[in-house]
Structure 1
Amino acid sequence: MLQSGDKAPDFILLDKNGSKVSLSDFSGKKIVLYFYPRDNTPGCTKQACAFAGAYEDFRKQDIVVIGISKDSTASHQKFAEKYDLPFILLSDPELQAIKAYDVWQEKKMYGKVSMGIVRTSYIIDENGVIEKVMPKVKPDTNAADILAYLREE
């Protein structure tokens, strides 16, 4: 897994509208980059809604919030509309960023082993360097935990 102090891998992915977005587009801004398994699942919906609820706090601090999963742009569009998500959702079906950020890992569920996205958040500083890695985050407290960390800085 990437560590604090590592250069954040750049990527170019499509957002929910099909527009290309790269990490370097936000150079000079702090970024919260969170990886989640799937749109419209209970945990991922809780996590996205928590980020939506805290979005104004992130915006006031000029922090960009980006969620990434392997869902399609159409899925992201529906997910964002259904839950009124104001932040960027990126589609990574080829696992480009997902693998670059080392969140595609073996998971065990109900005794079955499979590969999938491990829910992880990265805080990236204004210079594109990873400031903090938060592995295996809890969906309902992830946004609040990040805000608490940022207040301590």
Structure 2
Amino acid sequence: MSLEIGDTIPALQLKDKDGNDFQLDQFKNIKPVVIYFYPKNFTPGCTKEACGFRDKYQDFKDLGAEVIAISSDSEASHSKFVEKYSLPFIFLSDEHKQARKAFGVKSALLGLIPGRETFVFDKEGKLQFRYNNLNASQHTSLALKHLKELS
């Protein structure tokens, strides 16, 4: 399965960095959502990507959107990552890769590295943009660009 443009955000429940249940579609009909999947906390590319979203987080908020980061790291790892880099948005643990499967995020480099992919959903929870690239540098700016086009 793979999400296509126009598909609705999956109704999945994951754990946040504090171990609380988080319903992935809870912002449907409330606000736009940017969800990005990344390989692993504390690695150079993933840290660069997270800090990129952090540095532009107010721009996302100004557009009425929420940012959600998902990896297979544990809640404890997310908590340390968030604290170390002052990351203000939501981090979810997908240890069993249920969200990766539901979104259709494929692994990279012959399956050795979990994929890096960004999804932009409109206020109604419909997928408007999808970007898959292991290079972390463009995810934040492209997500912002597409959110602005929705406004």
- Considering the TM-score relative to the shorter chain, is it more than 0.5? yes
Q: Shift in Å at residue 24 of structure 1? A: 2.3
Q: Shift in Å at residue 82 of structure 1? A: 0.4
Counterpart contact for 2:129–2:146, Cα < 8 Å: no
Partners of 2:117 and 2:86 lie apart in 1 by 22
Q: What are the equivalent positions in structure 2 for 1:87-126 lying under 5 Å apart?
A: 87-105=89-107, 107-108=108-109, 113-126=110-123
Q: Shift in Å at residue 60 of structure 1? A: 1.2
Specify the alignment match of 1:15 in structure 2: 16
Matched, 1:152 2:149: yes
For the aligned residue pairs, the C-alpha RMSD in angstroms reads 1.4
Whichever structure has more strand as a proportion of its residues is 1
What secondary structure, in the 3-state scheme, does the structure 2 residue paired with 1:8 have?
coil
Matched, 1:5 2:6: yes
Q: In the alignment, which of 109, 124, 129 is matched to residue 126 of structure 2?
A: 129
Query: How high is the TM-score relative to the length of structure 1?
Result: 0.90
Q: Deviations over 1:56-87 (max 9, x none)?
A: 01111110100000000000000000000000
Letter in structure 2 aligned against 1:47: E
Q: Shift in Å at residue 143 of structure 1? A: 0.8
Q: Shift in Å at residue 144 of structure 1? A: 1.5
| Consecutive unaligned residues in structure 2, runs of 5 or more | none
Counterpart contact for 1:70–1:94, Cα < 8 Å: yes
